[in-house]
Amino acid sequence: MHCPTLILRTLVAASLACGLAHAQTAPDAAAPTLPSTDPAKIPELRAGSGYLIGYLPRKDLPNSLQLLPAPSVNGSAAAAADLAFHQQLQGQRSGLRWELAAQDAVLKFPAVASTFSCALGVSISQEATPHLNMLLRRSLADAGLSTYAAKDKYQAQRPFVKLAQTTCSPADEAALTRDGSYPSGHAAVGWAWGLILTELAPERSQALLERAYAFGQSRAVCAVHWKSDIDAGQLMGAATVAKLHGNADFLAQLGAARAEIAQARAQGSQPNRDCAAEANALALDRPLQ
């Protein structure tokens, strides 16, 4: 029997424990050659897409079909819970939370690089933190692609399609209609980023994980995912981070990103985002938890 919540918690704990062990172990060999921070030197997943390849070959990604249960079916208690949660969010389909959800829908760099800037407390960009920027950019592909074995198998219908609603990203609706809802790729990416950043800045872990949760929640606000899609996506994000810790390039870039964050703090770097507006938007999530 599958238990997504239990598995997710186990994977989160394993990811954080592995990261802390790595951070506390001093290398006794020469520093590894660092992976490139130049996007022009990293192949794209598809020419012209702007999405760079991840650190992991496709065959090494965690298998979502083996890790996840089947999605909820009409008439089930799980489907009823999904619908009830969706209905709770109807008051957020305008205003600050809706605007933030629309921002969270965009996964293209350079815009998305600053998503966790407020939670981290420093600027994140290709110019300010090139290794951190590349770490996020490449792990996006790993976490997102980890969801597609299940997505392609189940082809679950998205809320806005089933309920004839609009979304916060109308230009994407045609493509989303053809793309399976379960599990959420955005939630996988956001949770993976939250775990990676928590490893780099454990003193900011609460803010970073809250932002990672909200990033997934934005997909429910936008009516493009059910809550069960998001929960399953977060599990895949955690599974991906666990796998990434066996990749030498990821670990080398992780170390370089840690040094960049320390240097940015020492230089008084500030978030490259409107943190007051973000905080006001995220405060709207709290009554729903």
Per-residue model confidence (pLDDT) at position 118: 98
Residue from 137, 138, 186, 258 carrying the catalytic annotation? 186
142 is catalytic: no
- Are the C-beta atoms of residues 140 and 190 closer than 8 Å to each other? no
pTM: 0.88
Residues of the chain with pLDDT > 70: what percent? Answer: 88
- Phi-psi category of residue 74: left, alpha or beta, with phi > 0 → left and psi -120 to 50 → alpha: beta
Give pLDDT tens digits for 106-147.
Answer: 999 999 999 999 999 999 999 999 999 999 999 999 999 999
- Are the C-beta atoms of residues 254 and 209 closer than 8 Å to each other? no
Per-residue model confidence (pLDDT) at position 40: 96
Residue from 225, 231, 273, 285 carrying the catalytic annotation? 225
Contacts of 31 (CB under 8 A, 6+ apart): none
Per-residue model confidence (pLDDT) at position 284: 85
Residue from 97, 137, 219, 273 carrying the catalytic annotation? 219
Mean pLDDT of 255-277: 97
Q: Which domains are present in the chain? A: 74-288 (1.20.144.10)
204 closest CA partner among 123, 119, 113, 117: 119
131 is catalytic: no
pLDDT-derived band at 33, boundaries 50, 70, 90 = confident
Ramachandran angles phi, psi of 44, nearest 5°:
-90, 155
Contacts of 215 (CB under 8 A, 6+ apart): 104, 115, 186, 187, 189, 190, 191, 193, 194
Give pLDDT tens digits for 152-207.
Answer: 999 999 999 999 999 999 999 999 999 999 999 999 999 999 999 999 999 999 99
What 3-state DSSP class applies to 52?
strand
Tell whether the model's pLDDT for residue 25 goes beyond 60.
no
For residue 110, say if its preceding peptide bond is cis, omega within 30 degrees of 0.
yes
